[in-house]
Amino acid sequence: MKNPPFDLIVLGAGSGGLAAAKRASSYGAKVAIIEGDRVGGTCVIRGCVPKKLLLYGSLYNEHIKNASSFGVEFKDACIDSSQLLKNVRSEVDRLNSLHIDLLEKSGVTLFNGWGKLADSHVVLVREKGNVDKITELYGERILIATGGYPNRPLIPGSELGWLSDDIFLLNELPENVVIFGAGFIACEFSCILNGLGVKVKQFIRGKTILKGFDKELSNLLVEYMQENGIELNFGQYPVSISGNPGDLKVHTNSVEIKNCGGVLFATGRKPLINDLGLSSAGIDIDLDKVIVDENQVTNIPNIYAVGDVTNRINLTPVAVDEGRAFADTVFGKKTRQVNYNFVPSAVFSHPEIAAVGLTEEKAIALYGEVNLRSYRAKFRSMANALPKRGAPCLLKLITERKSQKILGCHMVGDHSAEIIQMAAIALQMGATKLDFDRTMALHPTIAEEFVTMI
């Protein structure tokens, strides 16, 4: 079955694909978008959004424990994690429907199925739920925005473990879990599940968590996770899993864990490029990622790629901006490239970690330790003053000694992500330590420490 030609065909209705499709359509382009899963992508359906909703729920146990310090008494208060999971899925359903509605209002045609390139202009869509039905689409331009997928290790019994997607589909949580991984997803789920009353053992192949974040911050998170009852095991990796769901036996390279309620593999993600027909279109790939230039163009001039499929900075806002920059340039005739400097990032652990700019380790490698000066403030926030317990706060600035330019801004503590988002504006504008010093503090707040450090 053939269709009239489209100005743009987008493969993947995640953050980057949706942003590009709607922006291109706003310029008058005739746009098709293809999605074989749910519209919204990883972030909305099985990533950032549901994960953060679970995090909010997991914090209530601590609020309940601290309540008496503020003269509030709860009797028999507890978290029903089954209801929480159900409510999160309901919100995801709402957002999925919202994104479908927004596509329709934007004039973008949605095809529910799996797209595969037949050549540099033709995409074959295998209809979802009816694999025998193939729709042929022709596009003047094609955008690959299929994102990534979680990695499952190649060990015996790995199919018995969960990937991050699976957590959101659970009807109830087990009493205990084993988590493998050291990155965002592993640390976030360790803290979330621990907060919901699950006993957590986390196994880390290397010696540290959160590669790419400032070590002083990640070390502080390690301390608090351990104080909060999370068992962290370094230098260990999965070897095999056996048993039945809910009663698993896990072997690492050095220990055996029996009667395990569940195993989560948070061992990285890969670009989703399998079965896209990239070779049919002549598209170059490198180490399982699509190669693009600064304008998101592949080696085939009419084919582009954005987001995690290019495996550059795999964050939702980056994919969104890449998609919009592509549409602005190609269809809006407003040449624009994405600015990858000072991209803020956060780990929604407990406590949160957020950062923008260079870590101290990276700054030393680039500038030399003698040319740098670091400032820090470590304290207990006012929210924890009466309970006399809770996560610490650490705020840190990395500066170039001679110019006083701020190279990195880092934080551990409540509302880190919200605060660092504002700090990212200052760093993007080239702020110096003197600029921070001249800014009046807002008291009493956590963020004021950034402008009072000496």
Give the Cα separation of 125 and 132 in Å (integer).
10
Task: Evaluate whether residue 439 is within a structural domain.
Answer: yes
- 107 and 226 in a common domain: no
Q: What is the pLDDT of residues 7-60, one digit of tens each?
A: 999 999 999 999 999 999 999 999 999 999 999 999 999 999 999 999 999 999
The answer on pLDDT for 155 being more than 70 is yes
- 287 and 249 in a common domain: no
- 81 and 10 in a common domain: yes
Q: Is 251 a catalytic residue?
A: no
Task: Evaluate whether residue 1 is within a structural domain.
Answer: no
Task: Evaluate whether residue 335 is within a structural domain.
Answer: no
Residue with more model confidence, 130 or 63? 63
The whole-model pTM stands at 0.95
- Read off the amino acid at residue 67: A
Give the Cα separation of 200 and 279 in Å (integer).
43
What is the structure's pLDDT at 132?
A: 83
What is the structure's pLDDT at 2?
A: 59
Given 99, 410, 415, 443, which residue is catalytic? 443
The two three-digit tokens of residue 397, written as one number:
């600035």
CATH number at residue 110: 3.50.50.60
What is the structure's pLDDT at 76?
A: 84
What does the H/E/C string look like for the chain?
CECCCEEEEEECCCHHHHHHHHHHHHCCCCEEEEECCCCCHHHHHHCHHHHHHHHHHHCHHHHHHHHHHHCCCCCCCCCCHHHHHHHHHHHHHHHHHHHHHHHHHHCCEEEEEEEEECCCCEEEEEECCCCCCEEEEEEEEEEECCCEEECCCCCCCHHHCECHHHHCCCCCCCCEEEEECCCHHHHHHHHHHHHCCCEEEEEECCCCCCCCCCHHHHHHHHHHHHHCCCEEEECCCEEEEEEECCEEEEEECCCEEEEECCEEECCCEEECCCCCCHHHHCCCEECCEECCCCCCECCCCCEEECHHHHCCCCCHHHHHHHHHHHHHHHCCCCCCCCCCCCCCEEECCCCCEEEEECCHHHHHHHHCHHHEEEEEEEECCHHHCCCCCCCCEEEEEEEECCCCEEEEEEEECCCHHHHHHHHHHHHHCCCEHHHHHCCCCCCCCCHHHHHCCC
- 143 and 18 in a common domain: yes
What is the structure's pLDDT at 77?
A: 86
- 285 and 171 in a common domain: no
What is the mean pLDDT of the segment spanning 145-168? 96
What is the mean pLDDT of the segment spanning 426-447? 97
Interior CA angle at 391 toward 388 and 392, to 5°?
A: 90
Contact assessment for residue 217 and residue 347, using Cβ atoms and an 8 Å cutoff: no
- 42 and 11 in a common domain: yes
Which residues lie across from 270 on neighbouring strands? 149
- 257 and 275 in a common domain: no
Contact assessment for residue 319 and residue 308, using Cβ atoms and an 8 Å cutoff: yes
Task: Evaluate whether residue 11 is within a structural domain.
Answer: yes
Task: Evaluate whether residue 110 is within a structural domain.
Answer: yes
183: left (phi over 0), alpha (psi -120 to 50) or beta: beta
The answer on pLDDT for 3 being more than 80 is no
User: Which of 37-46, 65-74, 126-135 is least confident?
Assistant: 126-135
Nearest to 168 by CA among 184, 185, 144, 156: 185
- 263 and 320 in a common domain: no
What is the mean pLDDT of the segment spanning 266-287? 94
Q: What is the pLDDT of residues 327-350, one digit of tens each?
A: 999 999 999 999 999 999 999 999
Q: What is the pLDDT of residues 79-94, one digit of tens each?
A: 999 999 999 999 999 9
Other beta carbons within 10 angstroms of residue 94's beta carbon come to 10
Number of domain units in the chain: 3
Task: Evaluate whether residue 339 is within a structural domain.
Answer: no
- 371 and 298 in a common domain: no
Average pLDDT of the chain, as a whole number: 96
Q: What is the pLDDT of residues 162-215, one digit of tens each?
A: 999 999 999 999 999 999 999 999 999 999 999 999 999 999 999 999 999 999
Q: What is the pLDDT of residues 213-265, one digit of tens each?
A: 999 999 999 999 999 999 999 999 999 999 999 999 999 999 999 999 999 99
- 112 and 43 in a common domain: yes
- 138 and 81 in a common domain: yes
Nearest to 28 by CA among 324, 325, 332: 332
Give the Cα separation of 291 and 304 in Å (integer).
9
Task: Evaluate whether residue 338 is within a structural domain.
Answer: no
- Domain hosting 209: range is 158-267
Looking at the chain, the whole-number percentage of residues with pLDDT higher than 70 is 100
Domain end call among 267, 298, 314: 267
Which residues lie across from 305 on neighbouring strands? 144
Task: Evaluate whether residue 65 is within a structural domain.
Answer: yes
What is the structure's pLDDT at 287?
A: 83
- 404 and 297 in a common domain: no
Give the Cα separation of 109 and 225 in Å (integer).
47
What is the structure's pLDDT at 48?
A: 94
Q: What is the pLDDT of residues 277-324, one digit of tens each?
A: 999 999 999 988 999 999 999 999 999 999 999 999 999 999 999 999
**Pairing state of beta strands 199-204 and 289-290?**
unpaired
CATH number at residue 367: 3.30.390.30
The answer on pLDDT for 1 being more than 60 is no
